[in-house]
Amino acid sequence: MKRSHLIAIAIIAVAIAALIGSLSDSSTYADLDEALANPGREYHVVGVLDRSQDIVYEPSVNASLTEFTMQDLQGRRCRVKLAKAKPQDFERSERLVLIGEATEGGEFHATDMLMKCPSKYNEQNQVGV
Amino acid sequence: MTYSGEHTWAGQLGHLLTVLSFTGALLAAAGFGLATGRHDERWRGVGRTGFLLHAASVLGIVTVLFTMLFNHWFEYDYVWKHSNLQMPLRYILSCFWEGQEGSFLLWTFWHVCIGLVLIRRAGTWEAPVMTVVSLVQLFLASMLLGVHVGDVRIGSSPFLLVRELPENIGLPWTRLEDYLSRIPQFADGRGLNPLLQNYWMVLHPPTLFLGFAATLVPFAYAVAGLWRREPQAWIAPALPWTFFGVMVLGTGILMGGAWAYEALSFGGFWAWDPVENASLVPWLTLVAAGHLMLVNRNRPTSLFTTLLLTLVTFHLVLYSTFLTRSGVLGDTSVHSFTGDGMMPGLTLFMLFFVWLAVVMLHKDRGQRRFYTLIAVALLTIGVALGQPVPAILLFLAVSAVWTYTAQRLAFPQPEKEEAVWSREFWIFIGALVLLLSAAQITFSTSVPVLNLLLEPFQAPLSSLADTLDSDLLRRAARARMAPPTEAIAHFNKWQLPFAFIVSLLSAFAQYLRYRSTDMRRFRRAIALSFVVSLVLTAVGTVLLKYRAAELNLILVLFATTFSAAANLDLIRTAFKGRLTNAGPSVAHVGFALVLLGALVSTSRQHEVSRNTQGMDLRFLNQEFSNSTDILLYRGDTVRMGEFYVHYAAKRPEGVNLRYVTEYFRPVPATYAVGDTVKVGDMLFRCRAPHEASTAFLEDQPARWTPIEEFPRRALWRAKPWSAARPGEHLFTLEPFVQLNPRFGNVAEPSTKHWPHRDLYTHVRYADLAADEAEDSAGVHYMPPRLYEKEIGDTIVTPTCLILIDSLRTVRDSVTLRMLGPEFLVYALRMRVRDLYDQERWFEASPVIIYRDGAPVAGKGFEVDPLRVKFELATVNGERVGLNVFEREFVVMQAIVFPGINILWTGCILMVVGTFMAVRRRLRNRTGTS
């Protein structure tokens, strides 16, 4: 076997390993139903902040804990504990992606959160209306 | 109807110019293409005319857009969305490229500049190279057209009026002649996203886009070389451009890192964000391609790989554009654009140039035609059946097969393989490793794209998953994969081995000779750097406290120091200290230092703002950590890492609210005779004046006498023993929040720089009101919380427990006698304790004054040790309203980055070295030709 073949095989092997590695390290998007049905498994849940419920952030108790209620795209609500300080302008957020796991008790414990703020097109639609 | 106050001529001119730029590019592509195909000089003239028309139009578009921005013509959507009146002039530049259209324009502009240089300098290569450039410009120009062909919109124009936007057409206000003056929203634009109002944002995008633009040149030369069946001759003229691209793209990427580090609160210089990755990947392959070009320019040992890497680099630039602009990243990145229907156009853009590259790789006309036919047929059928994704996948598979056959047919393998100990062999290996590194980053960044591609195959995949019982396949079948949660850990894990190999190769490959090497000489030459770097690694391992389990880090530490040392030594020995020729070595030293700095600062970054107060989060969930944020009450001085930090003041400055934090050096506490301290539940009195040691138990027998009996109150009042106290003032940091009601507020960091490390701090949470609620003692409080309770009730606030004992109407006070009979004074008696300290109670009695049934004044009551203040807000029989104020505070994150300056030094060396190398190449070329 020629050396170039060995190199080619090695390259392909590493590339496949990298592909599988990316896939197996990847997380899953899910709705709250699925996340709550599988407590302890990690998910990305997309949803919105439920503004009718309290947002509790008590830095003097713990500066890295925020509690709020989120509603997923199916409309299901769930109380969330986020292990982060309350982001600036959280109340204005338009869309949330929570990363974490549900607990047996039916809460969602998020270790991280991505937040999209309102897009400006909506404001513009109201121009002059 | 004519609208008053509009400057419609600008938009019309802009539209006209976009159409002209498209036409010009079309003419140029046709002219240069025919000039190449028919070897006809006259067609080249047509091409040049077309390109000049295109260039003039693009400059015109840029001018018109700038004019609109400078004059604040807010009737234009682009101007309204991206600028406002208050903005400093320099940010007009940032506004220009903040939006999708403007950044396309910036990219187009650089291509125009490069194209003009190529027309002057490329000589015989002009026609084929410019054909490729013009084709790219054709696609880019179409992105700005904004015309509708049937239902399909091609591109999006920056010259649209707000009233012409699809979502606004037909709205009542668009029929008002004087809508610009009538509707207040048009008086000012929305302004620039505050994140982008930063000088880095003025520099970073143009640099990055110039880097992207530069990758077009080697691509165009490679295609030209294949087209003219000179698969090797194109390398020499393309080389300086390639390394120019390496330099500029590299600078752009690192500027992005510096921007993130200096101005964004991401907590570091590199977060493996999809958008960052999308710019890094083409750089990696460009570096690989450039090195292979160096090897193959004279002796074709790996010509096919060289071509492939050069072609793929530009494809990756297009893919990067697709990722960031099509909206496919959606929820996964913080700074991608939203799609706005760009996906089909961008996909076509990408596929066209994949086709072009593969077609050119084949020498045989029949093969070229056959492949083109299949490609067109597949995509047409796919679109016609409404199944574009399988069609695209099939097309890519066919392209891969044709690339492979091209390698078999057109690039026969050399009979003899190159020697193992030759420079070309190891550079080849290095290029492949860089390609793999790029591939890994691409895979993990492309998870959202993968979902798109997997979607049509859900059914077969899930049955396959069931038969194989594979969890991985089952997840793939659902096509709802999310990016790795621990992105940074994921990428670091995979990239560390690649970094190790690449550093090692960049250390020794230059000591090898082309064709074959005398190994004894090689070993002698490299021995010194090897030994030096072994010693340095040992020292570094001790200093950085790397454990045996972190062997991978130690290996990379060695590889990077080895690379830096070996390349430094090369400057000394091979170039005899003459720097003119030493560009590559300087760049290699820089590259090694970038990796070394990244390794040291990332592996030993340390969050000093460890959360030591309050509830332990791990109690809730093991995944939660306490290690990030610190709570600082205004006026308090607390220990943070090796400093004392004191939150002194809140200072508004323009749109920014600065949080002034002072840092002090801890010095040993000194105690005098008679001082009383608390240790646990015991009190001690100082017997002899002394300076505290590190542990109380060391001092206690000789210097402290336990107090046998003391009242409980004494225990509460006594200060706890402490080994240190804040000493000399060291520095002040002012992390700030930029207040922006439109986009949301943005926290920006403040960093203390030392030569060997940085302390990086930013505000996570703070009260955003400017100082107002200052009481007589100069104490600041957060906005109050109101509790309405009855006498005898208990109140639990986040920090305290309050018992409301009684309410007393004051009848005998001096104040009341002075006030007169129409006033009523109430005093509330209550007891308070810390929520977590059951022993220590305080009394408080806030007072309120009523006149004719309405509260008019009051006197709050402050409990200083608990950092709270109470105010009686209302009294209604037995029911009272109590305002509880907490002392003002900020929540801050602080991270120490050791060795980050190694990284920045490396950046500068890398750029300078590459610049030196490019300059030398250009000189040599002009000298010989």
Number of Cβ within 10 Å of residue B408's Cβ equals 10
pLDDT band for position B595 (cuts 50, 70, 90): very high
Instruction: Tell me what the mean pLDDT of segment B168-180 comes to.
Output: 85
Q: In which band, very low, low, confident or very high, does the pLDDT at B324 lie, cut at 50, 70 and 90?
A: confident
Average pLDDT over all residues of chain B:
88
- Residues of chain B positioned with their CB less than 8 A from the CB of A114: 331-332, 334
Q: What confidence score (pLDDT) does residue B922 get?
A: 87
- Confirm or reject contact between B838 and chain A (CB < 8 A): no
Q: Which of A28, A59, A114 sits opposite B765 (nearest CB)?
A: A59
Cβ-based contacts of A24 with chain B (< 8 Å): 472
SS3 B877: coil
Residue that the structure tokens 């305002």 belong to: B883
The candidate with the shortest Cα–Cα distance to B859, out of B894, B902, B816, B821, is B816
CA distance B779 to B887: 8
Which of 337-356 (B) contact A at CB < 8 A? 338
A129/B171 touch (CB, cutoff 8 Å), yes or no: yes
The DSSP line for B754-800 is -SSEEEEEEEEEE--SPS--B-TT--BBPPPEEEEEETT-EEE-SSE
pLDDT of residue B891: 86
A128:B494 CB<8 A: no
Cβ contact A27–B338 (<8 Å): no
- B485-528 tens-digit pLDDT: 888 899 999 999 999 999 999 999 999 998 888 889 999 999 99
Say what the pLDDT of residue A7 is.
Answer: 87
Contact (CB<8Å) A88/B485: no
A83–B623: do the CB atoms touch at under 8 Å? yes
DSSP element (H, E) containing A42: strand A42-49
Q: Find residue B892's DSSP bridge partners.
A: B630, B763
Ranges assigned E (strand) in B841-878: 841-844, 847-851, 854-859, 861-863, 868-876
How close A114 comes to chain B (CA, Å)? 8
* Cβ contact B871:B548 at 8 Å: no
Which pairs with CB-CB distance under 8 Å and at least 24 residues apart come from B374-382? B374/B398, B375/B399, B379/B351
Residue of A nearest to B413 (CA): A4
Q: Does A109 touch chain B (CB under 8 A)?
A: yes
- Beta strand ranges found along B609-708 (DSSP E): 629-633, 637-640, 643-653, 656-668, 670-671, 676-679, 682-686, 690-691, 704-706
How confident is the model over B618-651, as pLDDT tens digits? 666 666 665 578 888 888 888 888 899 999 988 8
Please check the confidence at residue B303 and state whether its pLDDT lies above 60.
Answer: yes
- Give the tens place of pLDDT for each residue, B543-586: 999 999 999 999 999 999 999 999 999 998 877 777 888 999 99
Q: Does the pLDDT value for residue B331 go beyond 70?
A: no
- pLDDT exceeds 70 at position B613: no
Express each pLDDT in B458-489 by its tens digit: 889 889 888 888 888 888 888 888 888 888 89
The percentage of chain A sitting over the pLDDT mark of 70, rounded to a whole number, equals 89
Percent of chain B residues topping a pLDDT of 70: 95
Beta bridge partners of B74: none
Domains of chain A as residue ranges with CATH:
28-119 (2.40.50.140)
d(CA B231, CA B238): 12
Q: Backbone phi, then psi, for B132, in 5-degree steps?
A: -65, -45
* Section B14-19 average pLDDT: 96
Partner A contacted by B629 (CB < 8 A): yes
pLDDT at B188 over 60: yes
Cβ distance B624 to A83 less than 8 Å, yes or no, reads yes
Query: Is the distance from CB of B650 to CB of B660 less than 8 angstroms?
Result: yes
Residue contacts between A and B (CB atoms, under 8 Å): 186
Give the pLDDT confidence score for residue B352 in this predicted structure: 97
Minimum CA–CA partner of B473 in chain A: A23
Measured in residues, chain B has a length of 929
For residue A92, the distance in angstroms to the closest alpha carbon of chain B comes to: 8
Q: Are strands B854-859 and B746-748 parallel, antiparallel or unpaired?
A: unpaired
Q: CB–CB of B436 and A60 under 8 A? A: no
- DSSP assignment of A17-71: HHHHHHHHH-EEEE-HHHHHHSTTSEEEEEEEE-TTSPPEE-TTT-TT-EEEEEE
> Do the beta carbons of residue B828 and residue B872 sit within 8 Å?
yes
Facing residue for B889 by CB, picked from A28, A59, A117: A59
Q: Please tell me which residue of chain B has the smallest CA distance to A127.
A: B185
Distance CA B90, CA B440 (A): 39
What is the DSSP secondary-structure string of B114-133? HHHHHHHH-GGGHHHHHHHH
- Residue carrying the six token digits 């240790």: B679
Confidence of residue B198 (pLDDT cuts 50, 70, 90): confident
A127 close to B (CB below 8 A): yes
Instruction: Please tell me which of the candidates A58, A99, A109 has its beta carbon nearest to residue B798.
Output: A58
The pair of structure tokens assigned to B713 is 């109150």
Tens of pLDDT, residue by residue over B683-723, are 899 988 998 888 888 888 888 999 888 887 787 778 888 88
Q: State which residue of chain B sits closest to A129, comparing Cα positions.
A: B173
Q: Which of A11, A85, A121 sits opposite B167 (nearest CB)?
A: A121
Residues on chain A touching B447 (C-beta within 8 angstroms): 22, 26
Among the partner residues A18, A20, A89, nearest to B744 by beta-carbon distance: A89
User: What tens digit of pLDDT does each residue of B794-833 get?
Assistant: 998 877 889 999 998 887 767 667 777 778 889 999 999 8
Give the pLDDT score at A123: 37
B776 in contact with chain A, both atoms CB, cutoff 8 A: no
Q: Coil, strand, or helix at residue B885?
A: strand
3-state SS record for B217-262: HHHHHHHHHHHCCCCCCCHHHHHHHHHHHHHHHHHHHHHHHHHHHH
Would the CB atoms of A127 and B185 count as touching at under 8 Å? yes
Q: How far is A104 from chain B (nearest CA, A)?
A: 12
Q: Give yes or no for residue B333 having a pLDDT over 60.
A: no
Q: CB-CB: which of A44, A61, A125 is closest to B798?
A: A61
Nearest to B617 among A30, A83, A116 (CB): A83
Please say whether the beta carbons of B618 and B625 come within 8 A. yes
B922 near A CB under 8 A? no
Euclidean distance between CA atoms B428 and B293, whole angstroms = 10
Tokens representing B36? 């190449």
Strand partners, B823: B851
CB-based contact A127 B186, cutoff 8 Å: yes
- Chain A partners of B629 at a C-beta cutoff of 8 Å? 63-64, 85
Q: Which residues contact A36 (CB under 8 A, 6 or more apart)?
A: A78, A102, A106, A108
Q: What is the pLDDT along chain A (129 residues), one digit of tens a residue?
A: 678 888 889 999 999 999 888 888 888 888 899 999 999 888 999 889 999 988 988 887 777 889 999 999 889 999 999 988 888 778 878 788 899 999 988 899 998 888 876 543 333 333 332
